[in-house]
Structure 1
């Protein structure tokens, strides 16, 4: 690993700790976050040439604190905020003392930051953006690039999110017991969405965005470390590891999508698979099973099969049946239809898919059409399958998926344009 990449990894690890220290101390999330970003930039420039200081966290906290005071002093419109900060800590002390000298300086507020970024007042896109910025340490430009939106658009989204946090007056602390379960569910869901977007991008020329899926895994590791006994946090991490292990085989040399059944399993990351299986094996026996644990169990069954014909489809079907009871939604039913087809035949799978045609959430979704096309192909109805593949290709916004679906249709009906 190069020195530059090592510093980048360290800064991303320290970013939520430094932000937590400042927010806990001064209570102004938006200004603290801006100050931390400036400190991270200064560190990236200075440490590359001069080396990492003995106490990098303390260095960042001190520099960010100074930036915070500079911001307050330079903006008259923020005089009231300056007064609040002055009441909390004399400016001379703020300038000269590292926050790491405080008794609670070593406290890791990363989990509290995750909860803050998943505040109920924020929309789902804002939660994702703010989590990546404040806890993940990604720049606005990096987040915008990952989601294929202009940087200015993402900057406005993040700014609105920070303003909403400020308006809510929510302090940096874990939510009350009554709100803990709901807020933790939101945290898990945001991390799940970030991973999914990284594993299969919604649109664009590339199938995956490894930086996003990698960041989701890193944050999920952090969450699991802070909540080691939470079964669903462990289940989510296991799901990510078991799924991401297949990423090297998901695209060919030309960047085209390679479906699971056709992947070269020797390319799968066995280290991630072993870690994921160990996690889910220790988690499932604990008691109540949640949706992330069940999805991880499905992924484990796929990953344990040495070749596609060795897949234990009856076990996968049973797991999807449980998942549909725990979290009924059309995408779970769609996946169960594939398992039904593999156990009871494609006609049975198609019958189950037909129940989704009246569901507004999936009636026009390209995945429903692609799955129907696959089952029609297994049934030998090649013309109907090709038509479904073409329609699915028209509806997807992912260029690699569109190429794949169009190619499947062309192989089934080579004489048609």
Structure 2
């Protein structure tokens, strides 16, 4: 297929619109048809049509509106054909669509409704998170499988079962009543944070950051904070994302290369986001109900307070990780705590902690990267080289892999 240049309707433009608008389009069409499978298939059909039409006709004035309208029309045409064959499911979806006319303007909480639908207690916790990442974040099955450290076919089956459960149990597409919110909230917060993390450190591709996912996660975090202003973990998550997002301008170099926290130019950090995030952390502290997101936000606040890497209060960070371990232990928390231990007590004690995590996190490339750095600092260069090679092999993102390759080269002959 011949395509025009990016920005004029070529394949690159279609890909950009897909990244930015997939979640919104699916959410709107779920509201229209009352069915996740129909909505997702309609959006996929619309993007297929965009690949055919936009290179010829150019980018429409409202690409998202074009996708939503095209997807709706194609789905209605297909449902009419199926309804004429006495397909009751198609008839019901068509009736639902007639009762709910399409709103082409922005509908602020459509994606939030979809998240709460996906996070219904009837679904297994892992399925809730995976399905929302697929539908709202637009992540591929392979990307979600990497996030969960499971095989892609197993994740595909998990997604199919979750959508079937929503359909068969007739789970409503709405933000739940106030009494129902506490049961849904942990999964909702987990989903929003995973969307942000996939944006901040893309699991695959050439670019380190997917700005669209970061922006969407922050937007959803702000919506949740307005919906539940007295819930400290909601404020904690928003603070964590804002403080992390504040560092994004310094996280990549001129050619898109990764710049790690210790080497970042802190003058490039977004001071407005830092101020907003720190204010939220202080609000959380006044509540006196610490939770995992609040503690992680406090850790990020310590980094934000330091004028440079050398001034970081690693003792305070380690104490916060100790609290986090006490209330929300996990192998990834233990790995992050080991990094703080290395700064406070040295690489030797930290390496002991990391080695104990290998049986659990052996497929996680970040573990090998941390282990490699500790071995390098201990002068065990040959072992460090092997650990860097393992980290490179597991890194799905090209920018991250390139940074690890530079660190491996810096070791010199071993």
TM-score over 0.5 (shorter chain): yes
Partner in structure 2 of residue 209 of structure 1: 210
Q: Is the 8 A contact 2:239 2:278 kept in 1?
A: yes
**Cα displacement (A) at 1:282:** 1.8
Partner in structure 1 of residue 413 of structure 2: 415
The count of aligned residue pairs is 388
Structure 2 gap ranges (5+): 1-6, 147-153
Return closer, same or farther for 1:83/1:375 CA change in 2, 3 Å cut-off: closer
**Cα displacement (A) at 1:85:** 5.8
**Cα displacement (A) at 1:322:** 0.7
Match of 2:80 among 73, 94, 101: 73
Q: Residues 133-172 of structure 1 correspond to what in structure 2 (within 5 A)?
A: 134-135=135-136, 138=138, 143=140, 161-172=162-173
Helix, strand or coil for the counterpart of 1:360?
A: helix
Q: Residues 317-328 of structure 1 correspond to what in structure 2 (within 5 A)?
A: 317-328=318-329
Q: Is the 8 A contact 2:368 2:391 kept in 1?
A: no
Whole-Å separation in 1 of the counterparts to 2:337 and 2:228 = 31
**Cα displacement (A) at 1:385:** 4.4
TM-score (norm 2): 0.73
Whole-Å separation in 2 of the counterparts to 1:202 and 1:307 = 28
Q: Is the 8 A contact 1:369 1:389 kept in 2?
A: no
Helix, strand or coil for the counterpart of 1:318?
A: helix
Partner in structure 1 of residue 228 of structure 2: 227
Partner in structure 1 of residue 366 of structure 2: 367
Helix, strand or coil for the counterpart of 2:197?
A: helix
1:279-317 CA-to-partner distances (Å, cap 9, x unmatched) read 222223213111111111111111221111111112111
Whole-Å separation in 1 of the counterparts to 2:365 and 2:21 = 39
Q: Is the 8 A contact 1:206 1:255 kept in 2?
A: yes
Q: Is the 8 A contact 2:22 2:43 kept in 1?
A: no
Whole-Å separation in 2 of the counterparts to 1:201 and 1:51 = 29
Return closer, same or farther for 1:30/1:352 CA change in 2, 3 Å cut-off: closer
Structure 1 gap ranges (5+): 101-105
Q: Is the 8 A contact 2:206 2:399 kept in 1?
A: yes
Partner in structure 1 of residue 32 of structure 2: 22
**Cα displacement (A) at 1:205:** 3.6
Q: Residues 124-135 of structure 1 correspond to what in structure 2 (within 5 A)?
A: 127=128, 130-131=131-132, 134-135=135-136
1:337-387 CA-to-partner distances (Å, cap 9, x unmatched) read 222232233333334434x24x63225643333323333444xx32x1452
Return closer, same or farther for 1:14/1:350 CA change in 2, 3 Å cut-off: closer
Q: Is the 8 A contact 1:241 1:273 kept in 2?
A: yes
Return closer, same or farther for 1:78/1:159 CA change in 2, 3 Å cut-off: farther
Return closer, same or farther for 1:328/1:146 CA change in 2, 3 Å cut-off: closer
Return closer, same or farther for 1:206/1:389 CA change in 2, 3 Å cut-off: farther
CA RMSD of aligned residues (A): 4.5
**Cα displacement (A) at 1:118:** 2.8
Partner in structure 2 of residue 404 of structure 1: 403
Whole-Å separation in 2 of the counterparts to 1:255 and 1:62 = 35
Whole-Å separation in 1 of the counterparts to 2:102 and 2:238 = 32
Larger Rg: 1
Return closer, same or farther for 1:114/1:373 CA change in 2, 3 Å cut-off: same
Q: Residues 249-328 of structure 1 correspond to what in structure 2 (within 5 A)?
A: 249-328=250-329
Return closer, same or farther for 1:125/1:256 CA change in 2, 3 Å cut-off: farther
Whole-Å separation in 2 of the counterparts to 1:218 and 1:328 = 28
**Cα displacement (A) at 1:236:** 1.4
Return closer, same or farther for 1:388/1:65 CA change in 2, 3 Å cut-off: closer
Partner in structure 1 of residue 149 of structure 2: none
Whole-Å separation in 1 of the counterparts to 2:67 and 2:370 = 50
TM-score (norm 1): 0.73
**Cα displacement (A) at 1:324:** 0.6
**Cα displacement (A) at 1:117:** 1.9
**Cα displacement (A) at 1:262:** 1.3
1:236-289 CA-to-partner distances (Å, cap 9, x unmatched) read 122122112222222333443222111122222222222222222222321311
Partner in structure 2 of residue 349 of structure 1: 350
**Cα displacement (A) at 1:319:** 0.8
Whole-Å separation in 1 of the counterparts to 2:178 and 2:234 = 17
Whole-Å separation in 1 of the counterparts to 2:321 and 2:187 = 22
Q: Is the 8 A contact 1:118 1:187 kept in 2?
A: yes
Whole-Å separation in 2 of the counterparts to 1:107 and 1:245 = 24
Helix, strand or coil for the counterpart of 2:229?
A: coil
Partner in structure 2 of residue 103 of structure 1: none
Whole-Å separation in 2 of the counterparts to 1:75 and 1:260 = 55
Whole-Å separation in 2 of the counterparts to 1:309 and 1:78 = 71
